Structure 1
Amino acid sequence: MPLYLSVMLLVLTTLSSLVQAQVNESVPTGNPPAATTSLRDRVTESDLEEAQKTQTLALIGQAEKQTADAKAKSELAKQRAAALETVTQRAEAARQSIRDLKDFKPSVAQNLSLADLEASLATLTESTRAAKQALAASESAMKDTAQRRAVIDAELPKLTASLEERKQQLQNAMASGDATLVGEAIVAELKSSVESLQADIEAIKAEKALLDAEVAASLPQVTRDLKARQVETMEAQLATLQQAVENERVDDATKRLRKAQQMLPELPAVLQPIGQRNEQLAMLIKHLARDIESATDELNERTEELDNLSEQFEQATDRVDKVGLTDAVGAMLRNLKQNLPSIRVNQLRIRQRASKINDANYQLMEMTDRRNQRLGMTIDGLMRDARESTSSDQRESLSEEARELLQEQRTEYLDPAIRAQSEYFNTMVSISTVEDEIIQLVEKASKYINENVLWIRSTRPLYTHPVPSSDEWWFTLPSAWGNVWSRIWADLLERSAAWLVAFMALATLILSRYRLRAEIGHLGEKASQSSFSHFMPTAKAFLWTVATAVPVPLAFGFLGSRFGSVAGNDRTLAALSQACIGLAYAYFPLDFLRQVCRTHGLAESHFGWPAQAIAKIRRPLRLLLWGAVPLAAFAAFLAGGTSGYGNDVLERYVVLAACVILGVFVYRVAHPRRGAPARYLASDPEGWLNRLSYIWYPGLIAIPVSLGALTVIGYHFTSQQIGWRFFQSLGLLFGIGVAVSLTMRWSLVHRRRLRIEQAKALRASLQRQSAEQGETAPSEGPITIPSETAADLQEQMNQSRSLFQTAMASAALVGLWLVWRDVIPALGIFEKWPLWSTTDSITEAIKDDKGNFVTQSREVIDLVTITDVGLAVLIFIVTIAAARNLPGLLEFAVLRRLPLDRSVRYAVTTLVSYAIVMLGLIVAGGTIGLHWNQIQWMATALTFGLAFGLQEMFANFIAGIIILFEQPVRVGDVVEIDGVTGVVSKIRIRATTITDWDRKDYIVPNKEFITGKLLNWTRSDEIVRISVAVGIAYGSDTSMARKLLLESAAEHPDVLSDPPTLATFDGFGDNSLNFTLRVFVSTYEKRFHICNDLHMSIDNKFRDAGIEISFPQRDLHLRSLPNEIRHFFESTSSKNNEATE
């Protein structure tokens, strides 16, 4: 190390030590007093009982410890007294040292090598870091002085009272005259306690006097100033030395490059690669010197930024802790938040630098590998190329020369290049590390500020200071507009091309608005037709709607950007820029909503939104566009041009006017009887939304009212933050709604197109059949598609709706989190108010006396706050929503694409819903402190209790799980149980629903399927057999009848050929020859239709073949009738017989 640097560091260290009080706070250990030692020996040799002896020895040990403490504290009091006498001298010495350091001028000794300079730089860097730590410790000690003084004032009365109490106890013990060993031990312990307390009081009084003297002499402040001066001096010297190192690096690299270039022409051709490599390394060293210089400067900038940010944040937290959440502290926190570095910028820098770091690391490893390569291998490669052009003697001479050159290359070029590359790599890594620390500190500071700033009043209440100050009317002064027009005109001349392009684009959009509106109406009329099946008109209507809504926001956005670029320190232009940009942001979504709700626009003709509700929204939007938005922009203009606490009365009046307009808008649009939801609510008068209208409607109106109230009572910043995020949230939800509506529209027209294609194919098929049969073909008229009712639309989009709704909900949750993430930490204030506490056991690894790690369990107390309860409720709501939607999404997106039947898919989705509910309950319970190890006893007791009290319920639940796994019945199976036949439609936790053929639901407890008997028609195979019984008259052709039965079965399309159809002659009945036709069909659900078709076909074929289907015949014998009636029937019968013959 150079002599000047050593002397400077020695002086600084010496000066720093002069200002510190030489007070040794350690407690010296010494031998115990002879009296207690003698007493201990006597107790040890006595015949006291073991318990009494142990107690007596403990008293003696306590007395020895207190005696040692008394001696140490007495010594400490003497040291503090001695330091008290030198306070003035130390303060003056510190002031003199500060005066001496003012004359220090950084310098660097001449003729130092680069290695010496780099070593000195490393040493001074470490010393500067230590000096900064000492400065931070000194500043912390300054802050602790006042707190320690308050602690001393509180401790002295307590110690004095304890001393008096112990003295009284000592007097009582001595007056008792107890001469036993136990009595002597008690007296010895009390005496040592009195001595320890007296010494402690003397030491604290000495500390109090020392602190008072140091404060009176300003020693803490002077000490801090001296250390700050030392840091400044060392930083100045460090900057000078750094510059010297950088200059020496460049000079050294230039010399090496010149030397390599001069040596290259003198080398033989065989050794030219070595010279060329030297030149490349010298060039690399020169470039690395410049790169290291720029990287070091960047590292210093980032380090300084980190130090400043850390100091500001520490100062902010210290003031909050000491002063509280006052208005001034709130202003400080808002200013700190506004000046926080951008996390995104630092992350971008780290990502961009990562590739440079990787390249530098790769080059470093490559050079290191080349440095470690054996010289013989390199020489052999060079000589191998020169084997044909040189002799062996020449090659030997060249080999020796090559070895010398390679050795020189290592020491003169390769090693410096490796050092430079390593330093460049380390510097780049250090920059990224510092930027990562900045990001972490910014996140920490942002979270801390967001937790507190919204709960602090940002200005005075409006009712205490209702009159705007004169400073708030600054915009009415001619001086405020003096430079505005000249700067705008100068920018117009300088950026004329940009202004011209913007003007032409805006003029084009404005002039084409009427044509675009007409085109939107024309597209809407086409899209509203039930047979329309193209999405392109909807896409065009969306683009034209955006184009009609964008001119005004685009104009103000351009003006705001130009005003901001030329504003400089002109507050009028800065305020105009802020107002124009704010107006553009607020105007576009509202005007876009108005254009969407136009007659025959997107909402009415393409999305199918109710026309009445659209009109209720479109008309009141003018209130916001022409009232609230300009007022909000004017408020932003006033805020941008006014500064100072309380100078926002006029701005707040403007905000209140905007809140009134917003309240009127909400009142008109959301009214349950006259607003947009009126028709929907009237269609479902008993629905929850209608019943709870007295809650949600006043709640919506309360939003603008609450924002205005916050502004009135002084929480203007809070009102702005919450109001802006409400606006962003509504815009986000509206944007997601438009995106979902576009997707649903695309799905609808796609399905319509498929239906039209199917209808075309069907008509073409009918035409071909007609042509083959020689009949007249159908006319080529337009294809008629039935108008789509709500039920048709629901059936068409049922599968897609689940996916779209889930995607919309996910996007909404993510978007709302991004919008409100800076406000959500403010809810952390509720963590300060615990509702109850829970105890949890944790296991941790600690070191024992031997240095080995052992596990240890300990109890920790968790406080459950309002935030935890709110989070648990939110988790529960999300769990219910996820249990309802995620299983359906899983089935639609994944399971239906796998080779799984419907019953397996249903089982998977049901179990997933159970798992979601269970996981959600566990997480929600853990949030409010309900951990398993705490409630397992309750769960066990409840399990046993419920098992006995609700054993039927538990049996059904377990049976439901068994059904899902074993699958004796599945959703869609046709089953018969208790005389009821139907299709299994639902399998729930307690019961299973069977829908019979009359569309009635039959609820069966799950255990009936496990413990009872049931008939499952379709469990193993959905193929079922249908039997059709038919009887023909005696005398009919039985062979022909059987043939016709088989023909009827073969002609039916739903009758399977495998297994084969069977027609049997079963026997001779009383009135008929009995046949049975047995056919197999693919599904049980078609059996009624198939039976009907077979009956009709058999009847037609038998009638055509003359086969009579028999009917019952009976002979009636009359024996007890009067003779007249009996003779009448006999004569009639004989006439009939004659006629027949």
Structure 2
Amino acid sequence: GIAAENARLGEELKKTTKALEKASRRDNELRDQAQRMEAEYRSTQRKVEIAGLREALGQVLLEHRKNLPDPRKYKKQETRLRKHVTETGLRQIHYKEQLRRLKALEADPSSLLKDVPEAQQDALKEPLKQLLQRKRELLGKLVSTDEAYLRALSEQEVMLRRVQDTLATYDDFLAEHLLWVRNTPVIGLDDLKKIPAELRALLNMQAWNEFGSNFFRQLSHAYLFHLLVAIMLLAFWLRGRVRAALISASEEVGKPAGGNFSATLKALFYSVLLPIAPTMLIGLLAWQLKQQAEVSAYADALAGALSWAWKPVYSLLLLRALACHRGVLEAHFHWRATTIQRLRKAINFLLLAFIPASMLTIVLVNVTSSGLAGVSLKFSFMAAALSQSVFIYLVFHAEKGVIASYLQQHSHNFLRRSRWLWFPLLVIIPVLLIVLSLMGYVYTSATLLNQVINTLWLAAGLVVLQQLAEHWLLLSRRRIAYQAALERYKAMAEKKATDHQPPEAEKDTEFTEPKIDLVTLSKASRKLLNAAILITAVIGLWLIWSESLPALGVLDTIPLWQHTAMVNGVETQVPVTLGNLLLVVAIVVATLVASRNLPSLLEIVLLQYFHLSSGSRYAIRTLTGYVIAATGMVMVFKAVGGSWSQIQWLVAALGVGIGFGLQEIVANFIS
């Protein structure tokens, strides 16, 4: 027992020693990485300060950002590191506890020999004492080694945090400047002469034939690929059954009790399954292209294009499945046939125009020597951006677009009244990005176009989510009304049976009961739903555009005017920049949105959890609106350089305005 335990402890000591050496090496590697990254960051800062945002520096910054390590890798390392720290700490406590018990055992080892005959005990005491002493030494070394290991892990954690902080700062710096720097030359008429050479590189039949022969030669041994192809063919075969199940789920809609929301969820599930097979084909080809022993530039380019394509293709096919005949939009959400037809037309246009143009752009980046500076690439990007502009026209046109019926139903809506402003702006955004790419800002235009597309996907997802929630509310209200009608009918039948009234008296029978105000419930639910959608939209927009937000830091270097402010007790001229002005616009928009939605949301919460009169709710709603508006105005004046001595007069004026508002509230209470 003790000898075997000592052998096990010896092995543990060897493992811990090796882990300690590995942790020390890893600490040195992280330190070197941090120092290299910090040196590169300082060097890049100096280059930007000296050269400014010139074209020659644009490609350098782009390469630097492309070569930055993935921050998720360090996040995973940090998680593993914390796990090792926890395990080592617990193991050290366990060894210390063993060491404490061993010291007590060494003082009186006879308890270990109680099952041994007395004649043999004297002969075994000395070997036993040596084994116990060896165990104590091993435990002591294990405790001290674990302490050293914990220190090494702590130092490694510090270095890992240093690398992560440097990486985040460096990435923000590059993101701040990359969108403002030209990374390719401005396109001119002479550049059109480069197109034939670029097309010859793209249509190099010898290279494509070599790629094709290598690909098909490799397929003879790609057994996993054959298995996945069989699964994909099975998925294609099952599409018919999934389509039939989708139609069957749509037929369950319209039951009198309204308890068919599960049918809508089933229809959504089947709609999600429908695009899997064609998308799987794209992903499978991309995966197999990367499995070749020697991946050529053409294979790598095509694999990259296919790897990008499967996500938008799946999303578009999912939208088309939702918009299919007797699908979710038609049978469950009750969209008009013309609206669904227009949506299908817009989706098909993107599948036939945007996807091929974008894939061609990715291939051109990899197979032509010009890279981002290629003229053909800019024209393919132009085609992709123009297709987005046409798609926006097909969706958002007030008379011919997908949302036309919505705007007609809400003729007094702010969205319809302001369509002259937002519709041309939406259509022209991709066109402006084309102009940017022709001016040499290819990275900027591609990044912004990608974020515009993600914003459109966010809008589509929110529309589906909002329609799903409204459908559930409608079914819930229908079920409540149906149950209330059944209860009234049952009560009247019981009263008739009790009173033995003749049939002629049924008309005079009155049955009063507390009724659920479905109109109030509907309004409150819609307000709550709209508030939830708004919050989700804000979070989604932040996640989508957060990559470009650091670029707005450059606006803080553009002064508009100056104002006097106290800095460390000294009057100093502080500039108000273009960034401050943009912040003012954001504050005004946020204040308007909050003042229109938060008071109503607060009223719904009060209505649900507190029994307050309508006058009390009105007072709270009004005061909340005043507080939001006053806070927004103070923040606006503060952002443009207003001092407290100036703002306090604004606060006093707002106080007078709120006083008049309170008079109105008191008058409502009295009335």
Same fold, TM exceeding 0.5?
yes
**Once the 2 structures are TM-superposed, how far is the Cα of residue 636 of structure 1 from its aligned partner?**
1.5
Q: Closer, same or farther in 2 for the Cα pair 1:561/1:654, shift >3 Å?
A: same
Q: Closer, same or farther in 2 for the Cα pair 1:888/1:691, shift >3 Å?
A: closer
**Once the 2 structures are TM-superposed, how far is the Cα of residue 721 of structure 1 from its aligned partner?**
0.7
**Once the 2 structures are TM-superposed, how far is the Cα of residue 473 of structure 1 from its aligned partner?**
2.9
Deviations 1:182-213 (A, max 9, x none): xxxxxxxxxxxxxxxxxxxxxxxxxxxxxxxx
Which of 488, 492, 498 does residue 219 from structure 2 map onto? Answer: 492
Matched residue SS, 2:144: helix
Q: Closer, same or farther in 2 for the Cα pair 1:405/1:606, shift >3 Å?
A: closer
RMSD: 3.7
**Once the 2 structures are TM-superposed, how far is the Cα of residue 734 of structure 1 from its aligned partner?**
0.9
* Corresponding residue for residue 434 of structure 1: 159
**Once the 2 structures are TM-superposed, how far is the Cα of residue 349 of structure 1 from its aligned partner?**
1.4
Which of 737, 748, 752 does residue 474 from structure 2 map onto? Answer: 748
Structure 1: give runs of 5+ residues left out of the alignment: 1-271, 779-791, 844-856, 961-989, 993-1005, 1017-1141
State whether structure 2 residue 333 is matched by structure 1 residue 607.
yes
**Once the 2 structures are TM-superposed, how far is the Cα of residue 623 of structure 1 from its aligned partner?**
1.8
Contact 1:557 / 1:584 at 8 angstroms: preserved in 2?
Answer: yes
Which letter does structure 2 place at the counterpart of 1:496? Answer: Y
Q: Closer, same or farther in 2 for the Cα pair 1:880/1:697, shift >3 Å?
A: closer
Which letter does structure 2 place at the counterpart of 1:928? Answer: V
State whether structure 2 residue 377 is matched by structure 1 residue 651.
yes
Contact 1:353 / 1:428 at 8 angstroms: preserved in 2?
Answer: yes
Q: Closer, same or farther in 2 for the Cα pair 1:554/1:917, shift >3 Å?
A: farther
Contact 1:326 / 1:457 at 8 angstroms: preserved in 2?
Answer: yes
Contact 2:361 / 2:380 at 8 angstroms: preserved in 1?
Answer: yes
Q: How does 1:620-769 map to 2 (within 5 A)?
A: 620-644=346-370, 647-682=373-408, 688-769=414-495
State whether structure 2 residue 629 is matched by structure 1 residue 956.
no
Which of 308, 323, 340 does residue 36 from structure 2 map onto? Answer: 308
Which of 351, 359, 364 does residue 79 from structure 2 map onto? Answer: 351
Contact 2:65 / 2:171 at 8 angstroms: preserved in 1?
Answer: yes
Which of 119, 141, 157 does residue 416 from structure 1 map onto? Answer: 141
Contact 1:463 / 1:713 at 8 angstroms: preserved in 2?
Answer: no
Deviates more, 1:559-568 or 1:812-821: 559-568
Q: Closer, same or farther in 2 for the Cα pair 1:683/1:281, shift >3 Å?
A: closer
Matched residues in 1 for 2:310 and 2:103: separation?
A: 73
Matched residue SS, 2:562: strand
Q: Closer, same or farther in 2 for the Cα pair 1:534/1:433, shift >3 Å?
A: same
* Corresponding residue for residue 664 of structure 2: 991
Matched residue SS, 1:455: coil
Q: How does 1:784-863 map to 2 (within 5 A)?
A: 797-841=522-566, 857-858=569-570, 862-863=574-575
**Once the 2 structures are TM-superposed, how far is the Cα of residue 407 of structure 1 from its aligned partner?**
6.5
Which of 158, 169, 183 does residue 444 from structure 1 map onto? Answer: 169
Which letter does structure 1 place at the counterpart of 2:197? Answer: S
State whether structure 2 residue 646 is matched by structure 1 residue 935.
yes
**Once the 2 structures are TM-superposed, how far is the Cα of residue 385 of structure 1 from its aligned partner?**
5.8
Which letter does structure 1 place at the counterpart of 2:26? Answer: E
Matched residues in 1 for 2:346 and 2:91: separation?
A: 67
Deviations 1:571-602 (A, max 9, x none): 11111111112222222222322332334332
Q: Closer, same or farther in 2 for the Cα pair 1:662/1:529, shift >3 Å?
A: farther
Matched residue SS, 1:527: coil
Q: Closer, same or farther in 2 for the Cα pair 1:769/1:408, shift >3 Å?
A: closer
Matched residues in 2 for 1:656 and 1:287: separation?
A: 59
**Once the 2 structures are TM-superposed, how far is the Cα of residue 489 of structure 1 from its aligned partner?**
3.1
Deviations 1:655-708 (A, max 9, x none): 222333333333344333333344444556665444433322221220221122
Contact 2:57 / 2:183 at 8 angstroms: preserved in 1?
Answer: no
TM-score by length of 1: 0.53
* Corresponding residue for residue 876 of structure 1: 588
Structure 2: give runs of 5+ residues left out of the alignment: 505-516
Deviations 1:820-870 (A, max 9, x none): 111111111111102233444466xxxxxxxxxxxxx45565432211221
Contact 1:567 / 1:574 at 8 angstroms: preserved in 2?
Answer: no
Contact 1:459 / 1:714 at 8 angstroms: preserved in 2?
Answer: yes
Which letter does structure 2 place at the counterpart of 1:935? Answer: Q
Contact 2:109 / 2:129 at 8 angstroms: preserved in 1?
Answer: no
Which letter does structure 1 place at the counterpart of 2:216? Answer: W
Q: Closer, same or farther in 2 for the Cα pair 1:908/1:600, shift >3 Å?
A: same
Deviations 1:435-467 (A, max 9, x none): 222211111111111111111122222224123
Kindly indicate which of the two structures has a greater share of residues assigned to strand. 1
Which of 601, 609, 617 does residue 889 from structure 1 map onto? Answer: 601
Matched residue SS, 1:760: helix
Q: Closer, same or farther in 2 for the Cα pair 1:494/1:432, shift >3 Å?
A: farther
* Corresponding residue for residue 527 of structure 1: 253
Q: How does 1:120-135 map to 2 (within 5 A)?
A: none
Which of 527, 530, 551 does residue 277 from structure 2 map onto? Answer: 551
Matched residue SS, 2:560: strand
Contact 1:472 / 1:647 at 8 angstroms: preserved in 2?
Answer: no
**Once the 2 structures are TM-superposed, how far is the Cα of residue 503 of structure 1 from its aligned partner?**
4.1
Which letter does structure 1 place at the counterpart of 2:455? Answer: S
Matched residues in 2 for 1:568 and 1:858: separation?
A: 67
**Count of residues in Structure 1 that have an aligned counterpart in Structure 2:** 657
Contact 1:545 / 1:595 at 8 angstroms: preserved in 2?
Answer: yes
Q: Closer, same or farther in 2 for the Cα pair 1:554/1:929, shift >3 Å?
A: farther
**Once the 2 structures are TM-superposed, how far is the Cα of residue 766 of structure 1 from its aligned partner?**
3.3
Contact 2:256 / 2:482 at 8 angstroms: preserved in 1?
Answer: no
Deviations 1:309-364 (A, max 9, x none): 33333332222222222223111111111111111121121112212112213333
Q: How does 1:970-989 map to 2 (within 5 A)?
A: none
Which letter does structure 1 place at the counterpart of 2:223? Answer: S
Which of 294, 317, 340 does residue 591 from structure 1 map onto? Answer: 317
Matched residue SS, 2:292: helix
Matched residues in 2 for 1:383 and 1:914: separation?
A: 84
Contact 1:375 / 1:403 at 8 angstroms: preserved in 2?
Answer: no
Which letter does structure 2 place at the counterpart of 1:452? Answer: H
Contact 2:364 / 2:371 at 8 angstroms: preserved in 1?
Answer: no
Matched residue SS, 1:566: coil
Contact 1:872 / 1:927 at 8 angstroms: preserved in 2?
Answer: yes
Larger relative contact order (Cα-Cα within 8 Å, sequence gap ≥ 6): 2
* Corresponding residue for residue 539 of structure 1: 265
**Once the 2 structures are TM-superposed, how far is the Cα of residue 375 of structure 1 from its aligned partner?**
8.5
Q: How does 1:322-341 map to 2 (within 5 A)?
A: 322-341=50-69
Q: Closer, same or farther in 2 for the Cα pair 1:901/1:775, shift >3 Å?
A: closer
Larger Rg: 1
Matched residues in 2 for 1:382 and 1:890: separation?
A: 74
Matched residue SS, 1:930: coil
Which of 157, 178, 181 does residue 456 from structure 1 map onto? Answer: 181
State whether structure 2 residue 204 is matched by structure 1 residue 477.
yes
Which letter does structure 1 place at the counterpart of 2:461? Answer: G
TM-score by length of 2: 0.86
Q: Closer, same or farther in 2 for the Cα pair 1:533/1:286, shift >3 Å?
A: closer
* Corresponding residue for residue 512 of structure 2: none
Q: Closer, same or farther in 2 for the Cα pair 1:763/1:374, shift >3 Å?
A: closer
Deviations 1:151-194 (A, max 9, x none): xxxxxxxxxxxxxxxxxxxxxxxxxxxxxxxxxxxxxxxxxxxx
Matched residue SS, 2:401: coil
Matched residues in 1 for 2:256 and 2:344: separation?
A: 25
Q: How does 1:289-304 map to 2 (within 5 A)?
A: 289-304=17-32
**Once the 2 structures are TM-superposed, how far is the Cα of residue 530 of structure 1 from its aligned partner?**
7.8
**Once the 2 structures are TM-superposed, how far is the Cα of residue 807 of structure 1 from its aligned partner?**
1.8
Matched residues in 2 for 1:582 and 1:573: separation?
A: 14
Deviations 1:184-243 (A, max 9, x none): xxxxxxxxxxxxxxxxxxxxxxxxxxxxxxxxxxxxxxxxxxxxxxxxxxxxxxxxxxxx
Which letter does structure 1 place at the counterpart of 2:24? Answer: T
